[in-house]
Amino acid sequence: MGTIDNAAGVLAAEGGEGGFWQDAYPVIPHPGELIVGIISFAVLYFVYKRFVVPRLEAMLAERQRTIEGGIERAEAMQAEAKAALEQYRAQLAEARNEAAQIRDAARAEGQQIIEELRAQAQEESARIVARGEEQIAAARQQVVNELRGQIGTLAVDLAGRVVGESLADDARRQGTVDRFLDQLDGMSATDGRGGAVTVPGGNR
Amino acid sequence: MTTEVSAAEEFVPPSAPDFWQPLVGDGAFALTRTMVVMVLVSIGLAVAMMAMTRRLSVVPGRGQFRLEGVYGLVRNSIGRDIIGSAHFKPYIPLLFTLFTLILVNNLMGIIPPVQFPTMSRIGFPLALALGVYLVYLVAGVRRRGLGGFLKNLVPSGLPLFVVPVVFLLELVTFLITRPVTLTLRLFGNMFAGHILLLLFALGGEYFLLHGEGLLRVISIPAFAMFMLFTAFEILIAFLQAYVFILLASIYIAEVYADDH
């Protein structure tokens, strides 16, 4: 504080030496400085108002637009992506559905084919079996018929050789032959083997 | 500054005459050091701003980013927030001019080789304050008309006998106090800051050159204080520029405030 008082004292003491502006109170504005200040300020203000600030404002406005445009674009793209995703999901579900249907149909068809084949095979086998039986029966009948004829002749022949002429005119002996044949018939009917109808004197 | 000290054995503290530094001529229209600084700073700012805003891009580079930082502070933090988003646009050039001009001129108080604050000569802050004064008065009258402007000085609902007193006080505030305080605040801060810097610098120098024995050591803290206050002045430079446009915005905002 002392120095400031001292400064004031010095200021007062030197009053006479310099010009008015050197010793003037510092709160008295120097006209030249005031004018230069106003002009500098005005010129700089003009430059800012005319060029600097409009450029900055234009840039800020453009940035704002860019940001807003970017947000809008992003939103649009998001919506589009969402729609595409929905579509893909729907398509996928549809495809899955379709695949399941195809699978079911194929399975059903396969089942049906198997059933058909099985039925066909059964029928076939039944048919084959039936034909075999038929053939067997036919062959047996044939053999029986053949044998019946041959055995009759053979038996008569054999009996004739054994007993001689007496056999031909004796009616009683005719009855014996018939009874024998009937017995043979009965035998072949019971055991069913055509081959078993052996003649007692078969091994000649 | 230093010539007096080295010539005299006795310490002469810095004082008001140290701020009178005519370069050419003498008297009321002498070309002074601060005039040259003011003109150079203005030209430098105009050129730099024109160059920096020549190619502005939506995605800023480093230089543009800094410019936008300063511009955003003035435009948004002060202009828009105080004047209001409906009316602040026309005042951006004024506020931005004031801020940059004051800030750079204040920084000239510590930047070599100038190291002399322009605003410590009262003519310059007065010129700026007059600009603000003009703007807020014209804006006020233009918005409400002269009658409305004067009427708006007095808040409604006051008892009738108080109205003349309040009117007078408000009128003085509007017409005298505001521009004067705006001027004096800036001037006083820069003037006092420069006096302090001078005191520490000259004091340290005096102790170093003319001190006896241990007294020379005192120059070390003196110079340390000089450096500390130089750093402090950077803060003051910014703060005063900020306060100036803050107050200017408040005065302008009052034009658009519909109620007191």
Q: Give the per-residue pLDDT at A128.
A: 93
Q: How far apart are CA A45 and CA B133, in angstroms?
A: 15
Q: Are B165 and B210 in contact (CB under 8 A)?
A: no
Three state DSSP letters for B29-41: CCEEHHHHHHHHH
SS3 A198: coil
Nearest CA in chain A to B67: A56
What pLDDT, on the 0 to 100 scale, is given for residue A9? 41
Contacts of A63 in chain B (CB under 8 A): 58
Q: What is the ipTM of this complex?
A: 0.88
| Count helices and strands in chain A by DSSP H and E runs | 6, 0
Instruction: Say whether B187 and A27 touch across the interface (CB within 8 A).
Output: yes
A74 falls within a domain = yes
Tokens representing B153 are 């000085």
Q: Is residue A60 part of a domain?
A: yes
Q: How many residues does chain B have?
A: 260
**Residue predicted with more confidence, A6 or B147:** B147
Which of B28, B53, B130 is opposite residue A52, by nearest beta carbon? Answer: B53
What's the CA gap between B198 and B217, in Å, rounded?
19
Residues 118-177 of B with CB under 8 A from A: 120-124, 126-128, 130-131
- pLDDT at position A179 is 77
Q: Give residue B89's Cα distance to chain centre.
A: 22
Q: Does B65 touch chain A (CB under 8 A)?
A: no
Distance CA B97, CA A53 (A): 10
Check residue A13 and give its pLDDT. 41
pLDDT for res A3: 43
Of B42, B46, B96, the CB nearest to A53: B96
Within a domain: A37: yes
Q: Which residues between 191 and 220 in chain B have a beta carbon less than 8 angstroms from any beta carbon of chain A?
A: 191, 199
Domain span holding position A35: 28-196
Residue of B nearest to A43 (CA): B42
Q: Token pair for residue A49? A: 């108002």
Q: Which residue on chain A is closest to B69 by alpha carbon?
A: A56
Question: Chain A partners of B41 at a C-beta cutoff of 8 Å?
Answer: 40
Cis peptide before A31 (omega within 30 of 0): no
> Between the CA atoms of A177, A180, A185 and A189, what dihedral angle is there, to the nearest 10 degrees?
180
* Residue A107 Cα to chain centre, angstroms: 14
User: Contact B106/B237 with Cβ under 8 angstroms?
Assistant: yes
pLDDT in tens, A46-95: 999 999 999 999 999 999 998 988 899 999 999 999 999 999 999 999 99
Label residue A15 by pLDDT band (50, 70, 90).
Answer: very low
How close B117 comes to chain A (CA, Å)? 13
Contacts of residue B189, Cβ cutoff 8 Å, sequence gap at least 6: B119, B236, B240
How far is it, in rounded angstroms, from Cα B241 to Cα B104? 9
pLDDT value at position B20?
85
Residues of chain A with C-beta less than 8 angstroms from the C-beta of B186: none
Ranges of chain B whose pLDDT falls below 50: 1-8, 260
* A12 lies in some domain: no
Across A19-23, A64-68, A71-75, A124-128, least confident range: A19-23
pLDDT score for B157: 81
How far, rounded to the nearest angstrom, does the alpha carbon of residue B74 sit from its chain's CA centroid?
15
pLDDT recorded at residue A54: 93
Residue A113 is assigned to a structural domain of this protein: yes
- pLDDT grade for A12, boundaries at 50, 70 and 90: very low
- The predicted pLDDT at position B82 comes to 92
Q: Tens digits of per-residue pLDDT, A130-186?
A: 999 999 999 999 888 888 878 777 777 777 777 765 555 566 666 777 777 788 777
Assigned domain for A106 exists: yes
According to the model, what pLDDT value does residue B100 have?
95
Q: How many domains does chain A have?
A: 1
Q: A108 pLDDT exceeds 80?
A: yes
